[in-house]
């Protein structure tokens, strides 16, 4: 079957049309979809009114799924493969602990030694306006750096922290943050990673990076800030305006993303994510 697609932006992203992931899909059709995923960094599938089992089943075609041991409080109670990203209050009326998920530029599970290959986020409920997500093409950002900068960063490792909501103070001191930080010690990851399937080099950074291994925070901060600012220039970014039953699949090895607080937080925003496990990367360090 020929796959119909349209690009989402100049930087990254492709919408796949006329595909229903709840229906059986041949290896060859999935192979074509996977090729588009590798070429464009993110896939958009609209109108996927699927069950949780179907979401999980389709996700498995991209690889083994994470059971979210790094974020146990955000797991769906019946499906460990699903991570809740929701501001729906808990049954006892307390606020959802995952309501601020993804509010910093990041790639999934970068603060573990098995950072994610990909993620498939499905949208259930949206606020009246906003609740958008930004995606940045980190390979394009890397390519645009000067030869001198590429040489400077070639061997650097950035130290990725879990529980980094302390940076914007939204969740500082909560039990959830303490647990996430206890479960996930700081991990040094290469600042430049070659994509295991395409071989293309990409920046691997984000706002969870505190400093470079072997350097102080003061020494590291200007370069971290420069690289994050560079990578999130508008020409490297796609902004997704969600619709109910959208599924976005992103490649964490060459993109990063950020959930925006651009909506009325009294309105429901509920999404569920599967996370595809990637190849081992990084090493444990002290913060």
List of residues contacting ligand SIN (CB under 6 A): 85, 101-102, 121, 133, 257, 259, 271, 273
Using Cβ positions, the residue closest to ligand SIN within the complex turns out to be 102
Minimal distance in Å, beta carbon 77 to ligand SIN? 18
**Six-digit token pair at 281?**
């990367």
Print burial letters for 148-166: b (CB count within 10 Å at least 16), e (below 16): eeeeebeebbbbbbbbbbe
Minimal distance in Å, beta carbon 62 to ligand SIN? 15
Minimal distance in Å, beta carbon 85 to ligand SIN? 4
Contact 110, 189 (CB under 8 A): yes
Contact 3, 16 (CB under 8 A): yes
> Looking at beta carbons only, is 71 or 203 nearer to ligand SIN?
71
- 227 sits in the region (left: phi over 0; alpha: psi -120 to 50; else beta) called alpha
> Looking at beta carbons only, is 132 or 143 nearer to ligand SIN?
132
What is the C-alpha to C-alpha distance for residues 185 and 103, in angstroms, rounded to an integer?
Answer: 20
> Looking at beta carbons only, is 25 or 260 nearer to ligand SIN?
260
Minimal distance in Å, beta carbon 284 to ligand SIN? 23
Largest CA distance in the chain: 56
Minimal distance in Å, beta carbon 69 to ligand SIN? 16
> Looking at beta carbons only, is 213 or 246 nearer to ligand SIN?
246
Contact residues for 271 (Cβ-Cβ < 8 A; gap 6+): 85, 86, 121, 122, 123, 124, 242
The 42-45 sheet, strands edge to edge: 4-7, 14-17, 42-45, 247-251, 116-125, 270-277, 83-86
Minimal distance in Å, beta carbon 101 to ligand SIN? 5
> Looking at beta carbons only, is 156 or 163 nearer to ligand SIN?
163
> Looking at beta carbons only, is 110 or 189 nearer to ligand SIN?
110
């Amino acid at each position: 079957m020929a796959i119909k697609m349209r690009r989402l932006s100049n930087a990254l992203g492709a919408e796949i049309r006329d595909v229903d992931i709840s229906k059986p899909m041949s290896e060859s059709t999935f192979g074509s979809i996977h090729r588009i995923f590798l070429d464009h960094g993110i896939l958009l599938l609209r109108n996927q009114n699927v069950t949780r089992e179907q979401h999980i089943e389709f996700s498995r075609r991209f690889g083994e799924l994470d059971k979210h041991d790094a974020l146990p409080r955000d797991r769906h109670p019946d499906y460990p493969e699903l991570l809740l990203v929701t501001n729906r209050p808990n049954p006892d009326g307390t606020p959802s602990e995952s309501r601020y998920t993804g509010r910093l530029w990041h790639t999934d599970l970068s603060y573990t030694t098995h950072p994610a290959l990909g993620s498939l986020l499905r949208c259930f409920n949206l606020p009246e306006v906003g609740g958008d997500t930004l995606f940045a093409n980190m390979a394009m950002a890397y390519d645009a750096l000067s030869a001198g900068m590429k040489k400077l960063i070639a061997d650097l490792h950035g130290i990725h922290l879990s529980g980094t909501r302390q940076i914007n103070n939204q969740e500082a001191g909560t039990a959830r943050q303490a647990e996430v930080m206890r479960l996930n010690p700081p991990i040094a990851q290469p600042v430049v990673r070659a994509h295991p399937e395409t071989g293309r080099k990409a920046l691997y950074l984000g706002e969870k990076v505190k400093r470079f291994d072997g350097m102080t925070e003061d020494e590291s901060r200007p370069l971290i800030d420069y690289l994050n600012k560079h990578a999130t220039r508008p020409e490297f970014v796609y902004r997704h305006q969600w619709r109910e039953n959208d599924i976005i699949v992103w490649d964490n090895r060459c993109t990063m993303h950020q959930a925006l607080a651009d909506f009325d937080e009294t309105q429901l925003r509920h999404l569920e994510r599967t996370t595809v496990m990637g190849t081992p990367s990084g090493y444990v360090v002290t913060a």
